[in-house]
Amino acid sequence: MNRSQAKAEHTQKTGHEQFTETVYGVLCAACHNYILIDHTNCPPTCREHETCRQAYGS
């Protein structure tokens, strides 16, 4: 799931439409929770995060 998909899904579920994008992911302004954790700043050798393992092929 990418950032725009996460925002669209969250808006559909909750009606919240304001988000802050950080290097760590997408933060909902109303919930004050990350709706998507994005580890795209990690190096290709990272295996700590599930999203990195998926992105970099286990």
User: For 8-51, how does the pLDDT look when each residue is reduced to its tens digit (9 = 90+)?
Assistant: 999 999 999 999 988 778 899 999 988 888 766 777 788 887 77
Reduced to 3 states (helix: H, G, I; strand: E, B; else coil), residue 20 is strand
Number of domains composing the chain: 1
Rounded CA separation 40/9 (Å):
20
Q: Which amino acid is at 41?
A: N
pTM over 0.85: no
Domain of residue 39 covers: 3-55
